[in-house]
Amino acid sequence: MDWLQFIVFLLFVFMYGWMAYSIPIVVTGIRRMLRAGRDSRGCGGGKRRSDKLPSISIIVPVKDEEKVIGRLINSLLRLDYPKDRMEIIIVEDGSKDRTREICEGYARLHPNLIKFFHRDSSSGKPSALNYGFNHAGGELIGVFDADNVPQPDTLRKVVEYFRDPSVAAVQGTTCAINADENMLTKLISYEEAIFFKNYVQGKDVLNLFVPLMGSCQFIRRDVMETLGYWDEKCLAEDLEMSARMIERGYRVKYAPDVISWQEVPSRIPRLFKQRLRWSRGYMQVAVKYGRLLKRFERRAIDAELTLIGPFIQTLFLLNYLVCVYFHCTKIQLDPILVTMMNFTLSMTMASLLITGVALAYVVRPWSIRNLLWPPFIHIYWNLQCFITFYALLQMVLRRPARWVKTLKTGRCTKTDILAEGVTS
């Protein structure tokens, strides 16, 4: 085995090790989810307390969001929380549609609750968050994207997690408000549910790295003042802040019962832009905080292992391409490497097939279109792998990192959300 094949062998070992490491995290999350379903006490710290509630500043960065911003503001106004203990800070960045007009209208109607700020140009979400933080006075800082619809009890529940003084930040659960729009949104809704309820919850139970996800997130004001502002040069400012917290010894808590609904991409081009930004953001933070591995501390090491997820996904794509290449060229490789490549490819294909068949069986109402789930899953997985590879290629070629917003349509397929009257 020459040196190149030896490197490939080590990459396979690392990839298998990463997957093996993730299994107990997911299993732990599943066990906690099942237990919580049987536990009437829930996960928010038991009964609500009647003592003084902390003040909360909710920052909402917006640009060209006329289709969804009214829905969000209405839902924030309906939050079950003392209005004298909360404020809504809207930072609007040079919108070309009616977003500014809509926000100004709400600010005039609720001058004691809503602070509206207009900026002529946009420098991305992190810049808007920093601007909003400079005008925030709450003890807790919350962040919601413009397409969100938080449940009315969101703030009441989140403050219970902050009763624990060791908790510096809380990440809530986001669910797809347009899950039934088409096959893509349905799949993403399942993907998000598994990510939060199994993976992130498993990390929380094991006291590992819980990442902030950009929306439905809450941070103590004094922690923000200690850590400094959001990184305006990073495509994943939420992850960068999470890694900074871990480096400084702060703890982020996952809140499965703090729920906000949000729109997921319903078209492939929108998904591509969103996931490309996410993947490159993950990679940026992974490189920036590679020093976490030197600490030999459980949460720090887990943070770095989490951040390298897109790199691992790239390896799956490379394995697929290498397998096809060597089978076509008949080049002789070390038998161990051939076995590992074929095994990885076979297990990936089998997992995708099982997932596709399972979705074809469980998605209701059942129709002949359900037979499309197996090939759709295969296409979706390969698209995700290609996106991570393209993000890596951009980093290697030093292409400029640009913050690109995801277009929102305002569609909602959750009739129970609509029935609550939170539409714009």
For the whole model, what pTM was predicted?
Answer: 0.91
Nearest by Cα to 148 from 79, 53, 223, 240: 79
Q: According to the model, what pLDDT value does residue 41 have?
A: 44
Residue 124 confidence (pLDDT): 87
Quote the pLDDT of residue 332: 75
Share of the chain above pLDDT 70, in %: 94
CB 236 within 8 A of CB 307: no
Which of 1-10, 98-107, 211-220, 337-346 has the weakest average pLDDT?
Answer: 1-10
Band of pLDDT at residue 423, cut at 50, 70 and 90? very low
- pLDDT of 2 higher than 80: no
Concatenate the DSSP letters of all residues of 239-303 into one string.
Answer: HHHHHHHHHTT-EEEEEEEEEEEE----SHHHHHHHHHHHHHHHHHHHHHTGGGGGG--HHHHHH
Place of tokens 């940026």: 284
What does the pLDDT look like over 387-406, one tens digit per residue?
A: 999 999 999 999 988 888 88
Both tokens assigned to 103? 């926000």
Residue 9 binned pLDDT confidence (cut-offs 50, 70, 90): confident
pLDDT at 142 over 50: yes
Averaged pLDDT, 358-382:
92
The model's pLDDT over 167-212, given as tens digits with 9 standing for 90+, comes to 999 999 999 999 999 999 999 999 999 999 999 999 999 999 999 9
Residue 415 is predicted with a pLDDT of: 67
pLDDT tens track for 38-84: 664 444 544 555 578 999 999 999 999 999 999 999 999 999 999 99
pLDDT reported for residue 40: 45
66, 345, 30: which is closest to 203 by C-alpha?
30
Cα–Cα distance, 116 to 104 (Å, whole number): 7
What is the Cα–Cα distance from 216 to 116, expressed in whole angstroms? 20
Q: Is the pLDDT of residue 100 over 60?
A: yes
Q: Which residue has the higher pLDDT, 263 or 52?
A: 263
Domains in the chain and their CATH numbers? Answer: 52-266 (3.90.550.10)
Q: Phi, psi (5° rounding) for residue 4?
A: -65, -45
pLDDT value of residue 39:
62
Residue 177 burial by CB count (10 A; 0-12/13-18/19+): exposed, middle or buried?
A: buried
